[in-house]
Structure 1
């Protein structure tokens, strides 16, 4: 069985090489193929859902937020634009560099998040809200549970996670190679049973507050907000 360390190495190497160019295009605004456009739309729906939750609470400008696995800044930048104090990290140095460039182009100097290339489990500090989107798909459940436990030590009031749900239908799609189509596939795609993710959260003292499901043809993301 592949070790968690191997998974991290694979993720880091992928997003610092071929994966970086692929996902930078997907998360950007330029021309992409139909599959990539579908994934872009799905990912943006997840970003919009999280932003909607935070904006509905009416205190976003007062919050200190950690965006763990920030990618190219798709969430970090609008959070900073809304007035939040944002710390953002990613395992990929190239992703962090791209996020810094985009933030510098879109934000005023005082709004720019603190960006850092760092393993998720090396993140320190204390934050009102910790958010981790589209990261758990790269790791098996035992490793994901450890990540959730660590993120929980950083969060004072709320954790928001997304994951690819493990259902009979999505498992079948994954088996026939349709979950992440295309010649430049991502790392191993791990599906997670919602009950396992909920257990990992409640074990850390969290209560489930809100849920959402965003899906397109090639993108599937279950969102869970936990509070205490």
Structure 2
């Protein structure tokens, strides 16, 4: 299958069975042990990004694009902290869920705009562009163009997370342990960190901060890069 098929698969998955599964994972209700592990891992990544941005002590001055926002796990706290956030996702159901969650928790809703949009059609200019746990759905040849496009939208900084391609994770993926259970997710693509860094540098960005989140079933490499 080609890269265009991957986008169709992702869109259909997160508007159907995938939506129900990941809404539970990204919520606070009862889930199984594997889902709880993934929930905790994803939340650790979100918390690290929030920690980085809050430590800079200028969130109220920033415009942020949260590309692939899901149900708003990052967008909502960023908006609550004062940032102007444009949150987009390829899944209409995810966006609707995000809007509902924001309406229940966000005291300043004018700070947050949700939209149904895929990464390739995003436009505008933002101080910071963030894309968490999205690249795992796309092969390397597609990721290059997607990361480059996101870089073109970022005035100052881009923050990405991806499942790193290492020998250990490649083996886990091959034996079916990376995403356990049949038909529960889209295809999972791993990316070499050196390849991601090379794409960022090609677009004029230099990695400034990095982190790794590792649980039993969740692996995510986080990079923050600033424009030269």
Give the TM-score normalised by the residue count of structure 1: 0.98
SS at match of 2:211: strand
Cα distance, 1:43 vs. partner? 0.1
Cα distance, 1:110 vs. partner? 3.6
Instruction: Provide the residue aligned with 1:114 in structure 2.
Output: 113
Instruction: Provide the residue aligned with 1:163 in structure 2.
Output: 162
**1:103-182 maps to which residues of 2 (within 5 A)?**
103-182=102-181
Inter-partner Cα distance in structure 2 for 1:149 and 1:193: 16
Instruction: Provide the residue aligned with 2:89 in structure 1.
Output: 90
SS at match of 1:179: coil
Deviations 1:161-198 (A, max 9, x none): 00000000000100011111123421110000000000
Mapped contact 1:18–1:184 kept (Cα < 8 A): no
Instruction: Provide the residue aligned with 2:77 in structure 1.
Output: 78
Structure 1 runs, 4 residues or longer, greater than 4 Å off: none
Query: Over the residues paired in the alignment, what is the CA RMSD in angstroms?
Result: 0.9
Inter-partner Cα distance in structure 2 for 1:112 and 1:180: 35
Cα distance, 1:34 vs. partner? 0.3
Give the TM-score normalised by the residue count of structure 2: 0.98
**1:175-190 maps to which residues of 2 (within 5 A)?**
175-190=174-189
Cα distance, 1:4 vs. partner? 1.1
Instruction: Provide the residue aligned with 1:67 in structure 2.
Output: 66
Mapped contact 2:41–2:214 kept (Cα < 8 A): yes
Instruction: Provide the residue aligned with 1:200 in structure 2.
Output: 199
Inter-partner Cα distance in structure 2 for 1:120 and 1:110: 23
